[in-house]
Chains A and B, each alone.
Chain A
Amino acid sequence: MSGSSGGTARGNSFEPTPDVVAMLKERARFVRLETIRLIEIAKTGHYTSVFSAAEIFAALYYDVMRLRRGDPKWAGRDRFTIGKGHAAVGLFPIYADLGFFPKEWLDQYTRLGSPLGDHPDMRKVPGVDFSSGSIGHALSNALGMVLAQRWTAEKDYRVFCMMGDGEMQEGQVWEAAINAAQHRARNLIAIIDRNGYQLDGRVDDLMNIEPLDEKWRAFGWEVHTVDGHDVAKVTELLRQVRADDERTRPCVIIAKTSKGRGVSYMETEPGWHLGYLDPSDAEKAIAEINALDA
C-alpha cells in the first residue's frame, strides 16, 4: 500500500512482481471469505457485489493507494468513495486488517449498536472516507475531495471512486462527470465495476448503458478498460494512472467483472444480488473460493 512504484507514467514498469501478485490474490481471497463470515452474522447480505470487486479492493488497499496503517485520518492519504455502498461488507475486513479499527468489531457486524452495517457510515467507521448507501452520490463526493486540494496544503493525494454499472443510470453521476472534466480534476480516478447485473436483472436489458467507454470519453475523461479479476493487470493499470502526472483530465477505468466471481452458482444466478448462504452451502462456496486462482 505504498503506491511508490517506480517507472514513468507512460512507460511499462508498473507491472507488479509475482510476489505482489500472489499477495494480492491472497488478499482478494481474504475479502471473499470474510464477506461470507460476516454475512453469516447478519443472515443476509451482498456477497456477489463484493465478489466482483474483490481484486480491485485488494489492489487499491494493499498496493496502489497511499495509506498509513493504523492512521485512517492521515491528511495526505489517498481517498476512496464508493457508490455501490452495499459492498462495504468486503471493505470492513480490509480496514480492520489495516489497523483502522479493532478486528473484534467485525464479529458484531450489523448487531445492535455496531458501527458496521450493510452500508458504510463515515461517522462510525474509521477508514470510510465518505458514507454511502444512496447510489449516485460518490463521484460528486470524490470530486469535492479533489477540488479541496485547491485550498489545502495536501496537493498530491488521489481520490478513487468505485461505482457500479447500474449506477450509470443515475443522473447525478453525469452531473459529476461533466463537472470533473470542466474543473480538470486530474487526481480523480473512477472505477466502474462492470459486472453486468443490477438488482432486477441484467443491466443492459433493464437500461442499456453502452457504449460506456464512448460516453465517458465524450464527457472529457480518459478511459481505460481492464479485466477486473486479473489482479496483476488491475494493479498495473491502477499504478500507472495513479502515477501519471501528465494527465490533465479525470480518468475512468471500466473493469470488466463477473458478479459473484469465485462461487460458480452465484456467477450464473443474478438473483444472488442480495442473499444468504446456509452454513452447509457456505462450505461449498468457501471451497470454491479457496480453489480460485483469480
Chain B
Amino acid sequence: MNGPLSPNSWQYRGLNAVNPGLDHLSNGLIDLVKAGHNVMAGSADLQYSNGLNRFAAAYPDRYISFGISEQNMVSTAAGIATCGVTPFVATFASFLALLVCEQIRMDVAYSAQPVRLVGHHTGISLGFYGTSHHATEDIAIMRSIADLAVISPADGPQLEAAIRASADYDKPIYFRIGRGRDPVVYKETPTFTFGKAHEHLKGEELTIIACGMAVHGALEAASAMNADGRSVGVIDMACIKPLDRDAILEAASRSKKIMTVEEHNVLGGLGGAVAEVLADEGIGVKLKRHGIYDEYSLIAPPTHLYAHYKLDAAGIRSVAEAFIA
C-alpha cells in the first residue's frame, strides 16, 4: 500500500464502526456472559455486518462461525440449546425469517428450544442491495409461529435491554433489528418487559403504534403535530409477540383513530396484529396501517427509501395528518 488512504475510504470490516446501534448486540451478549449466563453466539459470514465480531473478540471460545449455511446454523443452534446453552444466532432478517423459516418452526419453536434468532438489517434498511436483502415479511411469518416471541426494538439501547431481559425468558425469541444507524429513541438504557408496550405520548385524536425504526419518526411527527395543537399519542410496540393487547385497547378507548407504522408489509405485521385485537374486541375505531403497501421496494439508499415510502418523520406526519383530516 502506498501511503495512508483517504478518511473517506473504508473497508468492509470497518463498516461496523459507523453502525453504533449494532454495538448493543455484542454489548448485551457480553453482559449476559459476565452475569454468568451460559450463552454462545454464531453468525453465517456476517460478523462484521451484525457487530458480533466484538463479542467474538471478547469471547472467542463462545463464538462459532457457521460459514454461509443459515439453515444449518439455526438447526445446530437448536441442538446446542438442548444441552443447556443459550445460542444467539444472527444473519440478515431476509435470510433468517424466509430462508430458515421451516427450521425455525421445526427445530426452534415446535421443539421449544430457547434459541435467540437475531434478524438484522431488516425491512428496507439494506436499501440499494435490493429485494433479496429486504425483509418486509418477517414479522408476519415469525408471529404466526407458535411459542416464538417477536421483538422489534426501536434502537440499540432497547435491543440491549431486551437481550438482558431475555435471560429470564425460557421460550425462543426472534429479534428484528435494523442496520445499527437508527436514531436513538432511548437516551438512557430503558427497561424491557416481554408483553409490555412503552407508551411515550397520549393522544385523543390519534394514537400511533409503531415498532423498530418507525418509533423515532413517529415520535418526531407526533411532537410536531402536538406543537401545532393536535393531540397525537405514540406507543412503541417493540414486543409484537406476546402482544400488549391492553395497551391497544386503552389507546382505542382514548383516541378517535389508530395508526400503525412499521418498516414491513402492511399485511400481517404490526398493523395486522393491532387490527386483529380491535376486530376481536368489536371496536369500531378507524385504523390506518402504514408501511410498505404490499409491493417490493425500489432501489435507493435507505434514507431515500424511508422518505419515498413516508417512513421518516415528515412522511409519517403527512400520512397521519391526511388520516385525521
Residues of A that sit less than 8 Å from B by CB? 75, 81, 121-123, 129-131, 133-134, 137, 140-152, 154, 171-172, 175-176, 178-179, 182-183
* Interface presence of B199 (CB below 8 A): no
Binary per-residue interface labels of chain B (214-250) against chain A in the complex, 1 for a CB within 8 Å, 0 otherwise: 0000000000000000000000000000000000000
* Among candidates B61, B72, B82, B84, residue contacting A130 with C-beta atoms closer than 8 Å: B82
* Interface presence of B71 (CB below 8 A): yes
**Contact call B76/A179, Cβ cutoff below 8 A:** yes
**Contact call A152/B84, Cβ cutoff below 8 A:** yes
* Interface presence of B300 (CB below 8 A): no
Compute the total of residue contacts between A and B using a CB distance below 8 Å: 107
Chain B CB within 10 A, most for which of A134, A147, A150: A147
* Interface presence of B166 (CB below 8 A): no
**Contact call B79/A152, Cβ cutoff below 8 A:** no
Nearest chain A residue, comparing its CB with the CB of B44: A175
> Given A130-B111, A175-B69, A183-B64, A144–B38 Cβ distance below 8 Å?
no
> Given A151-B38, A179-B72, A179-B76, A144–B106 Cβ distance below 8 Å?
no
Min distance, Cβ A75 to any Cβ of chain B, angstroms = 8
**Contact call A143/B76, Cβ cutoff below 8 A:** yes
**Contact call B75/A182, Cβ cutoff below 8 A:** no
**Contact call B107/A131, Cβ cutoff below 8 A:** yes
Give Cα A146–Cα B67 distance, bound, in whole angstroms. Answer: 18
* Interface presence of B202 (CB below 8 A): no
Min distance, Cβ B188 to any Cβ of chain A, angstroms = 33
Q: List 17 A-B contacts (CB under 8 A).
A: A122-B82, A123-B111, A130-B107, A131-B106, A134-B106, A137-B107, A141-B76, A142-B79, A144-B79, A144-B81, A144-B87, A147-B64, A148-B80, A176-B76, A178-B69, A179-B69, A179-B76
**Contact call A129/B82, Cβ cutoff below 8 A:** yes
Min distance, Cβ B115 to any Cβ of chain A, angstroms = 10
Q: Which residues of A contact B66 (CB under 8 A)?
A: 179
Q: Which residues of B contact A131 (CB under 8 A)?
A: 106-107, 110-111
> Given A148-B83, A150-B61, A172-B71, A140–B110 Cβ distance below 8 Å?
no
Give Cα A51–Cα B152 distance, bound, in whole angstroms. Answer: 48
Which residues of B (123-154) have their CB < 8 Å from a CB of A?
none
> Given A151-B40, A178-B69, A137–B103 Cβ distance below 8 Å?
yes
**Contact call B75/A176, Cβ cutoff below 8 A:** yes
* Interface presence of B117 (CB below 8 A): no
Q: Which residues of B contact A154 (CB under 8 A)?
A: 83
Min distance, Cβ A129 to any Cβ of chain B, angstroms = 7
Nearest chain A residue, comparing its CB with the CB of B61: A150
Give Cα A226–Cα B81 distance, bound, in whole angstroms. Answer: 33
Give Cα A172–Cα B111 distance, bound, in whole angstroms. Answer: 18
Nearest chain B residue, comparing its CB with the CB of A161: B79
Give Cα A142–Cα B82 distance, bound, in whole angstroms. Answer: 10
Give Cα A131–Cα B103 distance, bound, in whole angstroms. Answer: 11
7 tightest Cβ-Cβ pairs between the two chains A and B: A144-B79, A140-B75, A148-B83, A175-B72, A175-B69, A141-B79, A144-B76
Nearest chain A residue, comparing its CB with the CB of B62: A151
**Contact call A148/B75, Cβ cutoff below 8 A:** no
Give Cα A230–Cα B289 distance, bound, in whole angstroms. Answer: 65
Q: Which residues of A contact B80 (CB under 8 A)?
A: 144-145, 147-148
Give Cα A149–Cα B38 distance, bound, in whole angstroms. Answer: 12
* Interface presence of B273 (CB below 8 A): no
> Given A145-B79, A182-B67, A151–B72 Cβ distance below 8 Å?
no
Q: Which residues of B contact A145 (CB under 8 A)?
A: 79-80, 82-83
Give Cα A134–Cα B111 distance, bound, in whole angstroms. Answer: 12
* Among candidates B69, B82, B103, B107, residue contacting A148 with C-beta atoms closer than 8 Å: B82
Q: Which residues of A contact B61 (CB under 8 A)?
A: 150
Q: Which residues of B contact A134 (CB under 8 A)?
A: 102-103, 106
> Given A123-B112, A131-B107, A151-B62, A141–B83 Cβ distance below 8 Å?
no
**Contact call B79/A140, Cβ cutoff below 8 A:** yes
Give Cα A129–Cα B61 distance, bound, in whole angstroms. Answer: 25
Nearest chain A residue, comparing its CB with the CB of B69: A175
Nearest chain A residue, comparing its CB with the CB of B110: A131
Give Cα A140–Cα B82 distance, bound, in whole angstroms. Answer: 13
**Contact call B71/A148, Cβ cutoff below 8 A:** no
Binary per-residue interface labels of chain B (49-83) against chain A in the complex, 1 for a CB within 8 Å, 0 otherwise: 00000000000011010110101101111111111
